[in-house]
Amino acid sequence: MVSSVNLKAAGQRRTNWAGNIVFEASEFYRPQTFSELRAAVARADRLRVLATGHSFNDMADSAGAQVSLDALPPEVEVDSAAGLVRVTAGLTYAQLAGRLNQKGFALRNMASLPHISVAGGSATATHGSGRANQNLAASIAAMELVTAEGDLVELDRADDAFAGAVVHLGALGVVARVVLDVVPSFDISQWVYEDLPLEVLDDHFEDIMSSAYSVSMFTDWRAPRLTQVWVKQLVEDPARPVPPESLAGAPWFTATPATGARHPVPGGSPETCTEQLGVPGPWHERLPHFRPGFTPSSGDELQSEFLLPVDSAVPAIGALRQISDRLAPVVQICEFRVVAADELWLSTAYRQDSVAFHFTWQPDLAAVLAVVELMEQRLAPLGARPHWGKVFTATPESLHARYERLPDFLDLARHYDPAGKFRNAYTARYLGR
Ligand SMILES: Cc1cc2nc3c(=O)[nH]c(=O)nc-3n(C[C@H](O)[C@H](O)[C@H](O)COP(=O)(O)OP(=O)(O)OC[C@H]3O[C@@H](n4cnc5c(N)ncnc54)[C@H](O)[C@@H]3O)c2cc1C
């Protein structure tokens, strides 16, 4: 039987990556086999998976135990004919991507960092950018779920409830393995442009976001301009010349090409970022902004993010400009991205092509919460959905208004977890369960 560590007795407390959450869970399991994992789940009264802990709230906490999947065998089994890979759910994207690329395959997209786990990222509808790119969970074709009694349930796209189970906030059970769609490996070149007036977006938001495979816009709200635009272009894109004329060193929508490598956060070292200046490279070394092996982003921060229908991008930027004097003192950097619609019930892009407004904040929770509340008020009329893994203050009522399938998801949670083993303070606060 798998043993647990009693953290309270050992005088230890775990925190999330950002350090703003000290977990309450007093027991910690680290199973080394899948059967030990099932035994640990069956044994615990209350349980949550702690993956890489890159969420900025208490969603990975539990009033009982936490379990890590990082000691399980790191399986990566590619089915080339089917275009699928079956992986241990706790693998990080960095661990998976290198192995996948060696076998000639790729994931369609990645988040800004490869440090997070496949299961943890999917649980919160983590996303990258790209007009045609869905969030990372949308590539899950099947999953193995260990439910409250330690039973193994296999779900795939043929199941009615599958679309409800993929973005699960950790509330259905422990995902042990996932099967992901893969595509043949591809190469990307990345350019950074600087100083684009925000007013250019009034007429060209869509043009710029559609100009490459993945585009990210950055501003610090200290002036009405984008500080940087990161453009990730497929090297072999029949629809576009390589390099596109607009990206070959000339001004682009009045922005100027960066003359050296950049970090999106002011003062950050470009050494920690993926290669730029148009040097082609494999998908997993260009799609994330940050390289594995280094601290991503600023490293001393909180984050929030809100997703809205992409048609509301320009009005939303206008609404944010109106409070830029409140944003600027608290924000380190803000990023605009786009995410294609999907059918996953709790996805932040559920049935709507979306624009995502991400905020890397100073690590001052009280100051951040005041600005987040103000921003939520301003963006609410545009239908903003908060990123599940970041700092937000929504009520269950407002979330029900944003997610028409939330009642069905709660039924699913009652089905797989009738006694509430995977409930925690986060689900009580935001889901009313
Ligand atoms: C520097 C930085 C950059 C970021 N960039 C992006 C970005 O580009 N795009 C974006 O969308 N988000 C981004 N995020 C947010 C991050 O991707 C999400 O919070 C993600 O969910 C974290 O994954 P994790 O593996 O750390 O999961 P954790 O934070 O450990 O867990 C998240 C949730 O999933 C549950 N869970 C984890 N694994 C399992 C499992 N196997 N079975 C059941 N439940 C499970 C946990 O219990 C918890 O409820 C960023 C975060 C940081 C710190």
Judge whether 113 and 274 are in contact, CB under 8 Å.
no
Tell me the CA–centroid distance for residue 169 and ligand 1, in Å.
9
Range name among 5-9, 59-63, 119-123, 346-350 with the lowest pLDDT average: 5-9
Tell me the CA–centroid distance for residue 121 and ligand 1, in Å.
4
Q: Which pLDDT score is estimated for 245? A: 53
Comparison of pLDDT for 236 and 95, the residue scoring more: 95
Confidence of residue 1 (pLDDT cuts 50, 70, 90): low
Judge whether 41 and 69 are in contact, CB under 8 Å.
no
Confidence of residue 240 (pLDDT cuts 50, 70, 90): low
DSSP 11-47: T---B-TTSS-B----EEE--SSHHHHHHHHHH-SSE
Atom 44 of ligand 1: nearest residue by CA position: 170
Is residue 249 pLDDT above 70, yes or no? no
Lateral strand order in the sheet of 4-6: 4-6, 27-29, 65-67, 47-49
- Could you tell me the two tokens for 46? 């209350």
Tell me the CA–centroid distance for residue 90 and ligand 1, in Å.
11
**Ligand 1 contact via 167 beta carbon (within 6 Å):** no
**Ligand 1 contact via 389 beta carbon (within 6 Å):** yes
Which atom of ligand 1 sits closest to the CA of residue 426? 49
Task: State what percent of residues in the chain have pLDDT above 90.
Answer: 91
Tell me the CA–centroid distance for residue 137 and ligand 1, in Å.
11
Work out the average pLDDT over 10-29: 93
Q: In this structure, which amino acid lies at residue 28?
A: F
Whole-model pTM: value is 0.96
Q: Which pLDDT score is estimated for 248? A: 58
| pLDDT tens digits, one per residue of 375-390 | 999 999 999 999 999 9
Atom 12 of ligand 1: nearest residue by CA position: 126
Nearest-10 Cα torsion for 265, 266, 267, 273: 30
Is residue 9 pLDDT above 80, yes or no? no
Of 360, 76, 6, nearest to 218 by C-alpha is: 360
Instruction: In whole angstroms, give the CA distance from residue 398 to residue 383.
Output: 10
**Ligand 1 contact via 89 beta carbon (within 6 Å):** yes
| pLDDT tens digits, one per residue of 278-328 | 999 999 999 999 999 999 999 999 999 999 999 999 999 999 999 999 999
Confidence of residue 242 (pLDDT cuts 50, 70, 90): very low
Work out the average pLDDT over 80-95: 98
**Alpha helices for 247-355 (secondary structure H):** 313-322, 324-327
Q: Which pLDDT score is estimated for 244? A: 54
Instruction: In whole angstroms, give the CA distance from residue 153 to residue 151.
Output: 6
Instruction: In whole angstroms, give the CA distance from residue 248 to residue 262.
Output: 17
Instruction: In whole angstroms, give the CA distance from residue 181 to residue 48.
Output: 26
Work out the average pLDDT over 255-259: 90
Classify 49 as helix, strand or coil.
Answer: strand
Helix (H) or strand (E) holding 93: helix 93-102
Specify which residues 155 forms β-bridges with.
143
Q: Which pLDDT score is estimated for 7? A: 76
DSSP class of residue 432 equals -
Work out the average pLDDT over 341-356: 98
Antiparallel, parallel or unpaired: β 105-106 and 183-184? antiparallel
Confidence of residue 5 (pLDDT cuts 50, 70, 90): confident
Classify 408 as helix, strand or coil.
Answer: helix
Is residue 241 pLDDT above 50, yes or no? no
Phi first, then psi: give them for residue 68, nearest 5 degrees: -105, 145
Phi first, then psi: give them for residue 28, nearest 5 degrees: -135, 125
Q: Which positions ≥6 away from 88 have C-beta within 8 Å?
A: 69, 72, 73, 74, 75, 76, 176, 177
Judge whether 229 and 261 are in contact, CB under 8 Å.
no
Task: Tell me how far CA of residue 353 lies from CA of 66, 212, 307, 321, 335, in angstroms.
Answer: 35, 16, 10, 22, 17
Confidence of residue 344 (pLDDT cuts 50, 70, 90): very high
Task: Tell me how far CA of residue 201 lies from CA of 315, 382, 411, in angstroms.
Answer: 10, 18, 42
Instruction: In whole angstroms, give the CA distance from residue 295 to residue 55.
Output: 15
Q: Which pLDDT score is estimated for 12? A: 79
Which atom of ligand 1 sits closest to the CA of residue 390? 19
| pLDDT tens digits, one per residue of 89-110 | 999 999 999 999 999 999 999 9
Confidence of residue 112 (pLDDT cuts 50, 70, 90): very high
Work out the average pLDDT over 47-65: 98
Instruction: In whole angstroms, give the CA distance from residue 14 to residue 243.
Output: 47
**Ligand 1 contact via 423 beta carbon (within 6 Å):** no
Is residue 39 pLDDT above 70, yes or no? yes
Round the average pLDDT of the chain to a whole number and report it: 95
Q: Which pLDDT score is estimated for 201? A: 97
Tell me the CA–centroid distance for residue 43 and ligand 1, in Å.
25
Neighbours of 325 (CB within 10 A): 10
Q: Which pLDDT score is estimated for 118? A: 98
Of 62, 71, 296, 96, nearest to 180 by C-alpha is: 96
| pLDDT tens digits, one per residue of 170-218 | 999 999 999 999 999 999 999 999 999 999 999 999 999 999 999 999 9
Side-chain half-sphere exposure of 134, counting CA atoms within 13 A: 17
Q: Which pLDDT score is estimated for 113? A: 97
Q: Which pLDDT score is estimated for 330? A: 98
Of 197, 217, 251, nearest to 337 by C-alpha is: 217
